[in-house]
Structure 1
């Protein structure tokens, strides 16, 4: 996720004010939601977008807003394609990325209302040619689990893209080849999963025996009048498709990607079409007097169905709760190379909007949401934290029997997001990755510091109950513990923000220390081998250990192989990283033989130590044991990051 520096945000806001506001309009701020002025909203939004797009070098945007079942603003601005200078309009097709999950959820919930599926059925009942492995001691993965991202899957991205759009048409055939491992019991914790939502789409195909894309088009998109929308791009959509850009001082185009997890990420649409979807969602599935989506399906889509913790915002069957100022909302964002988007609904205010940029700075959409909520929906500023209380919230699932900590227990440390691959080489991307740091003060409050690259302000949370804290803007931080009483998860603000403690050996600081140690072992091995070789040939000083330098040769060979592997993998990632999305090339896979060869080079020095441990000068043996011992640690280090063996 990208973030805008606060200074950049204020520049953008100032630009929007200078471009669009005058003293006469100042009185419209925080007006009641039933009196939104369409002209004022569009003028303000255009100005705000112009400022924030200029500050972040984003070419274009589309926007549509709905209030009281009416489209009060719908426009495109900026450029859809910098090469042809094609303008962005309300009919420009954009990639909505993960907002695709909203459409997939609607399809599933519609079939449930029609009796063709059940939310609590094992997903394997509907899958064809693929089966989610079951565990005797665990419950099956249900459709409900998939829609609430509680199926328990780890995250992976290698081999999830295809060379051409043909693979998208028959996406369900690819799912068995890219299935991630299950790492959590179903229903234990929210762990965002593209694969889980793709399985839901495959279940739709199994339940109806029809192609997913065509079924959605016929039963949802056509009744909604969304004629330029779909999970596959037809000729009519292609000519109006915006080009996505990586935002930089000089934006450059992103490569068009085709996905195997189609139901989770491939949906494309226009601002005008998304306006019809917003109207239906805000009016119980009705559009122009016709019931186009079952009322119960819409209700389930907009009603929280899973909570990591009772006091932390939860997830619905396809979306998630959010907060904009003091306005409660339901939303879903989307990010894919070159595009970022947001669908936001405030059902109690009968208001919603959709925005998409052909740039990759995702925080722009969040600042727009805050600005619109503050100006048109909020009746007051966000609430201050409640006074500390001893009330304990109800125990979340998976927390039964946990030993509660004392008030002074220290939970300080490093935490990382739970959405990552635990069983494949992708885990190595976390090796020096950023972590969230939590420190606890004497008064019991917590300070949460985010990585500098995230550009998020440090937050302070004050005690509100056992294992529950609240910030000044009303956001909650909650803990969940394992049966021994140790922190298992930390939840910050909403369902997605779930973190786990980082083990000591996987902490970035520990990793840096180990890498420096491995580098020192390489240099010592090279120096001692060179020194021993020189002495053995030139002086009688080394005659009592004529073969010892040969043992250093084996250790040196081990470290050369090890560092050659690490540096080669790094270079491959820098130069071929994008192609990993299509699958890891055989050239890269062949590099994983190097650590195995390195293991073989440790056999001769091991035998030498066993047979003639003192066959050396006194100062050599400690150095040799150090380098030899670090070699064993190095193999454990590679195994920790799934770099030992062929874990693809």
Structure 2
């Protein structure tokens, strides 16, 4: 029986998969894995490269095998200012949503003892709570939906963070005050939901005689001897002195940041732990729910959590879907279930190879870990469970024509539908699909390099030079409607109409900015021009029309800048909206009202022959662009209509 756990702080890596097949390759992998010297040498080399390449200050690694720690080691620094090194046993990291696995383990404990049922309407458990799920659709939301991220909620971030720990409120109040809308029937598509996990934790607490954190402390952390794991904010003094600092790397220097204050413990963001503690958590899952003499789950319950609960494509069963709370992360035809977590500065990943009793945990204290963790996962899988299949490299006959039918923008369903937070999803969770003359598919997204894909079979594409896969779903008319990524199980990407594409969005906003600036230049320079040309003094109506469009232009530019900075400072604005953002929310409607007024003024300009014909054309074009500008901002959620 072999088990591996790795916890790091810096590394870019691909994602991997596991099969329920015990091959000779996997046997040789297990032998290698138990060789502590070889494993340590490989990780030493890998981590040294990653810390430098991805600008991550520190990392921790824990390897366990046959129920005991084989390797526990720290890399780099937890605190650069004091030169405090990372210690896998001692250094406390924020692990983000990887902590959700604790929540789902606790929920399954509630199922085991009979207080919860996965297929029951969760409103049945909330009769004494101010939180309830609206009956937007006939089908009720169940714990099964919450655990597979298929409940159909929109994505919202407000309510998840606070400015400081003194502003935290009861979980019930936050869930009631910041409830996302139900935007699709449950069980239809996977769409990652932080709120859904927090709601599941609240359901558990409502059916218990203790708080969620108290339940987890008593039922998971204590029996697993996870003594350095806590949801407490701020950290207790004994842990605060060992806290890893979160960093960003800018202009050749590392910048330290204060910890984020998270408000919903079940969501996982507030969980702080050590690599060693997470190793004990994984050992329990890999050993049928037991750790030493303690048991947190029955073996059958563990198997139930690790099996697939949601299949995203019946036609492509090898596509990763969702286990219960666990994300399928299969690579190299190996079955892998786990989770990853993101906070602004910390990136983590936990991966279990159930068929090999192996696990990998990584955590980083810098954004560079976002790529590093998946690279490490792929490298680990390639090393110990290599794939012998020869990858497809040449597109088959007719691939170009089929690929052209797939081109367009595909946007994640994990997006807000009702607030300005939608801009985050539109800009960062949209993939533009293109095609080359040779028939390769291409994808591009903000912050990612363009990737190429080759057709494996119609609607299924394999990454060139990588391990990922794209799968397309088609409607009754044979047109692609949705896209799935093999390496990103908890997401569905919906094809958007052409007018919502990033190309149209950027073109309209860019043209609008140029047009508004031209109005402001004419607005300011008009008097000088008329004096130089000795032109007639404009009438009051002409002057009013020009002033109106000038004010509209200034307002739209101001709104754009305000929401751009809100996006850049997203976490702070989600925790506590700034005066600028609150002002922007008022100005957007003033700008819209002014734009409507400019449309009326345009009619007067042509009817009464204001100015010269070129001036009237300019006025009309800018007004039209202001309307298009408002329309695109409404699609971004900046201007709810």
Q: TM-score range by the shorter chain?
A: 0.7 to 0.9
Contact kept, 8 Å, 1:140 with 1:186, in 2: the verdict is yes
Question: 1:335 aligned to 2:342?
Answer: yes
Q: CA shift at 1:315, angstroms?
A: 0.9
- Measured in 1, the distance between the counterparts of 2:534 and 2:361 equals 82
Query: How many pairs align?
Result: 604
Q: CA shift at 1:41, angstroms?
A: 1.3
Contact kept, 8 Å, 2:246 with 2:257, in 1: the verdict is yes
Runs of 5+ consecutive residues of structure 2 not aligned to the other structure: 1-8, 15-24
Distance 1:353 1:637, change over 3 A: closer
1:121-175: CA deviation from partner (whole Å, max 9, x where unpaired): 122222322112212x431111011111111122222342023335668323211
Question: 1:377 aligned to 2:371?
Answer: no
Question: 1:548 aligned to 2:542?
Answer: yes
1:424 equivalent in structure 2: 419
1:462-495: CA deviation from partner (whole Å, max 9, x where unpaired): 1425x33445667542222344543221012142
- Measured in 2, the distance between the counterparts of 1:297 and 1:5 equals 33
Which of 313, 324, 329 does residue 309 from structure 1 map onto? 313
Q: CA shift at 1:212, angstroms?
A: 0.4
1:508 equivalent in structure 2: 502
Contact kept, 8 Å, 1:228 with 1:270, in 2: the verdict is yes
Give me the TM-score of the superposition, normalised by structure 1: 0.84
Secondary structure at the residue paired with 1:591?
Answer: helix
Secondary structure at the residue paired with 1:80?
Answer: strand
- Measured in 2, the distance between the counterparts of 1:256 and 1:217 equals 22
Secondary structure at the residue paired with 2:28?
Answer: coil
Contact kept, 8 Å, 2:95 with 2:271, in 1: the verdict is yes
1:346 equivalent in structure 2: 353
Question: 1:61 aligned to 2:59?
Answer: yes
Secondary structure at the residue paired with 2:154?
Answer: coil
Question: 1:242 aligned to 2:255?
Answer: no
- Measured in 2, the distance between the counterparts of 1:45 and 1:207 equals 44
Contact kept, 8 Å, 2:395 with 2:440, in 1: the verdict is no
Q: CA shift at 1:434, angstroms?
A: 7.2
Question: 1:479 aligned to 2:477?
Answer: no
1:110 equivalent in structure 2: 109
Contact kept, 8 Å, 2:149 with 2:490, in 1: the verdict is no
Distance 1:345 1:117, change over 3 A: same
2:590 equivalent in structure 1: 597
Question: 1:281 aligned to 2:282?
Answer: no
1:399 equivalent in structure 2: none
Q: Relative to structure 2, which stretch is displaced further, 139-148 or 235-244?
A: 235-244
2:272 equivalent in structure 1: 268
Contact kept, 8 Å, 1:159 with 1:584, in 2: the verdict is no
- Measured in 2, the distance between the counterparts of 1:308 and 1:205 equals 31
2:100 equivalent in structure 1: 101
Secondary structure at the residue paired with 1:118?
Answer: coil
Give the alignment of 1:68-217 within 5 angstroms.
68-89=66-87, 90-127=89-126, 128-135=129-136, 137-165=137-165, 170-217=170-217
2:44 equivalent in structure 1: 46
Give me the TM-score of the superposition, normalised by structure 2: 0.85
Give the alignment of 1:497-536 within 5 angstroms.
497-526=491-520
Q: CA shift at 1:296, angstroms?
A: 2.6
Runs of 5+ consecutive residues of structure 1 not aligned to the other structure: 10-27, 390-405
Distance 1:382 1:584, change over 3 A: farther
RCO higher in structure (CA 8 A, sep ≥6): 2
Secondary structure at the residue paired with 1:155?
Answer: coil
Contact kept, 8 Å, 1:66 with 1:278, in 2: the verdict is no
Q: Relative to structure 2, which stretch is displaced further, 174-183 or 116-125?
A: 174-183
- Measured in 1, the distance between the counterparts of 2:276 and 2:330 equals 25
Q: CA shift at 1:178, angstroms?
A: 1.9
1:393 equivalent in structure 2: none
Q: CA shift at 1:533, angstroms?
A: 5.7
Q: CA shift at 1:442, angstroms?
A: 7.5
**RMSD (CA atoms):** 3.4
Q: CA shift at 1:346, angstroms?
A: 1.0
Give the alignment of 1:379-398 within 5 angstroms.
380-382=387-389, 384=391
Distance 1:71 1:604, change over 3 A: closer
Which of 376, 394, 398 does residue 368 from structure 1 map onto? 376
1:21 equivalent in structure 2: none
